[in-house]
Structure 1
Amino acid sequence: MRKLSSSTQLRRWQFRTAAGLFVGYSAYYLCRSNLAVAAPLLIREFGSRGLDKEVLGQLASVGVLFYALGKVFNGVLGDFLGGKKIFLLGMVGAVLATVAFGLGQGVAVFFAAWATNRLVQSMGWAGLVKLTANWFSYRAYGRIMGLLSLSYLVGDIAAKLVLGQLLDLGLGWRGLFMAAAGVLALVALADWLGLAATPASVGLEAPPASPTSLFASPDLAA
């Protein structure tokens, strides 16, 4: 009976973890897709100061470059800090960078804020993968990662729909960035309260790790 109770608790925590990661990673896109939504307004306001379509394209490209660099470093960082910490740090960093962009008054600030935003956003996927490995049996990795990979599609679509609607309601691009940062901050708070780093942290036994994995040791799972 005790074993059944423990199994039920684990399943509930697995559902809770998957839901928190799905919503959390989707919410990241509020602070990523906002640039595309706000682009026409940015060009209209700052076009005379050098922010035309070409420069906006360069801004987006710099963001992709920093995102790619972050994927390398933050994956390693996640092994040291743990999945929950790096997942939440990415959210907090994205919130701060988005606010900085929203307060910006020129192209240089936009480049710095957007590069920082994309760099810290790369923490999100690293944290998601780490937490998934902690909470799910290696036999379920394919299913759970397939499900969670939909979060970036859902997040991008939902972010553009919601942010576009806010523009239609008369919100300016600065308000748009602040709204995106505010919602992501709330989701980060919910995930901070609702996610657990490992099953052991809530008194549960970890699902079996792959016997062929170099990282199967519990000492490396945090």
Structure 2
Amino acid sequence: MAWPHVFQRVSLLSQFSHHHVVVFLLTFFSYSLLHASRKTFSNVKVSISEQWTPSAFNTSVELPVEIWSSNHLFPSAEKATLFLGTLDTIFLFSYAVGLFISGIVGDRLNLRWVLSFGMCSSALVVFVFGALTEWLHFYNKWLYCCLWIVNGLLQSTGWPCVVAVMGNWFGKAGRGVVFGLWSACASVGNILGACLASSVLQYGYEYAFLVTASVQFAGGIVIFFGLLVSPEEIGLSGIEAEENFEEDSHRPLINGGENEDEYEPNYSIQDDSSVAQVKAISFYQACCLPGVIPYSLAYACLKLVNYSFFFWLPFYLSNNFGWKEAEADKLSIWYDVGGIIGGTLQGFISDILQKRAPVLALSLLLAVGSLIGYSRSPNDKSINALLMTVTGFFIGGPSNMISSAISADLGRQELIQRSSEALATVTGIVDGSGSIGAAVGQYLVSLIRDKLGWMWVFYFFILMTSCTIVFISPLIVREIFSLVLRRQAYILRE
């Protein structure tokens, strides 16, 4: 049924210009740099904890006796580690709030300005937090909290802006596979952050923050001078103009209409004045768009599971199997590898079917089985890595799809395509909801692990994955019914 259009979509992909490639790479690496600074903080927690709790018995940090009192923030390393965990939670909540705000701002101001400002300002905050305070020997818990709240707000400008820019350049044809590949930027950022931090950590944790912040600041400057927000900036036609002339089978993957047979393509041409008067829709209007609330609630549950693996997987491997911390860090990369492959392959399949929800449903159902299998993984690194990759494929893949390709579909559906801008706002709502779920999840995972053990943590993950399916179940049913009708119509034409 949809297979005859596969080659048509491949030919459309081949028509991408060098401008598309540049936009892809700039947005990819801009968000990778933002994620790298987060990963750096995770990688130097042990060093920070040691620096904040100096004592006569702490031989790993050589400090003069006279400055012990100035940076003796905590009586023990356990207390310092607890505070670092609190900083993680503070960051996630401020990041979630910032996503809602940044999406609205991004649809009203130039996306390049917002993204560049966020990257450069966040780099400065990271520099002050990790490097400047250490050089000045100024240690204050309230200052650290305030800086990390501000950092969360500034980092939140990244995702809504880069998704909006990508949505401006890449239309429906191939969006699933393009965004699937592109959404690997977070995983690449994690690897980049780990490499940058480990390369200079021997000189002191402050240099890890300095290097990461410097690279991120330079990236913000490149974005300001080099990023093209939309094809119209260089006189090319926008994706709406191209999509209006595609055939019926290439209609949007997110459609507010209940019956596909009622769809009538609109070939009306707007004059220049109507194009110039395009304005952003309100936050409430964006929430009322078809699919936004279901996918936001679903992503809150799914990102909780995905980010729990991101934060807790190395600790779980060390704690549960007794493996060395360095080995656990390297092994946890296989989860990201599974997510990259899953997002790309599932995006390609959804492009072929021209529907997203059924692909998500199948992947999430299989994710439940993969979680059960991984929770019973033996003490064997090869088997664990394989099961971890499979789990990342079925959990990280759908998570990447919702946060990128589906958010772009939601922000460019027919109801608003002709008169309004909503892409950054919708992306902020979806990812902001997911970040709230992730923030709450970090506390719940810690609580469940302490009270009930790791097996109940996996039961909790299974529950949240099932809730993800429940929240998008109306969309799943509607799109499966649409596929059945399309199949029947294809058979009748034969």
TM-score for the superposition, normalised by structure 1: 0.87
Letter in 1 for 2:239: P
CA distance in 1 between partners of 2:175 and 2:415 (Å): 16
Aligned counterparts, 1:1-222, within 5 A: 11-47=17-53, 48-50=72-74, 52-102=80-130, 103-104=132-133, 105=138, 106-167=140-201, 170-208=202-240, 210=252, 212-217=413-418, 220=421
Unaligned runs of at least 5 residues, structure 2:
1-13, 54-71, 244-251, 253-265, 267-412, 424-494
Letter in 1 for 2:417: A
CA distance in 2 between partners of 1:132 and 1:177 (Å): 29
* Aligned residues of 2:122 and 2:151 also touching (Cα < 8 A): yes
CA distance in 2 between partners of 1:181 and 1:218 (Å): 39
Q: Deviations over 1:87-135 (max 9, x none)?
A: 2222012112112202232222211111111221111100011101111
* Aligned residues of 1:95 and 1:185 also touching (Cα < 8 A): yes
* Residue 40 (structure 1) shift: 1.4
CA distance in 1 between partners of 2:211 and 2:33 (Å): 12
CA distance in 1 between partners of 2:162 and 2:173 (Å): 17
Aligned length: 214
CA distance in 2 between partners of 1:207 and 1:182 (Å): 35
* Aligned residues of 1:88 and 1:188 also touching (Cα < 8 A): yes
* Residue 9 (structure 1) shift: 9.1
**Matching residue of 1:3:** none
TM-score for the superposition, normalised by structure 2: 0.41
The DSSP-based 3-state class of the residue aligned with 1:52 is helix
The CA RMSD measured in Å over matched residues stands at 2.3
**Matching residue of 2:324:** none
CA distance in 1 between partners of 2:16 and 2:105 (Å): 27
- Deviates further, 200-209 or 174-183: 200-209
Distance change in 2, residues 1:9/1:94 (3 Å): farther
Letter in 1 for 2:91: G
CA distance in 1 between partners of 2:213 and 2:101 (Å): 24
* Residue 176 (structure 1) shift: 1.6
More RCO (CA 8 Å, sep 6+): 1
* Residue 150 (structure 1) shift: 0.4
The structure with the larger Rg is 2
CA distance in 2 between partners of 1:14 and 1:218 (Å): 24
* Residue 161 (structure 1) shift: 2.1
CA distance in 1 between partners of 2:176 and 2:45 (Å): 37
- Deviates further, 147-156 or 42-51: 42-51
The DSSP-based 3-state class of the residue aligned with 1:137 is coil
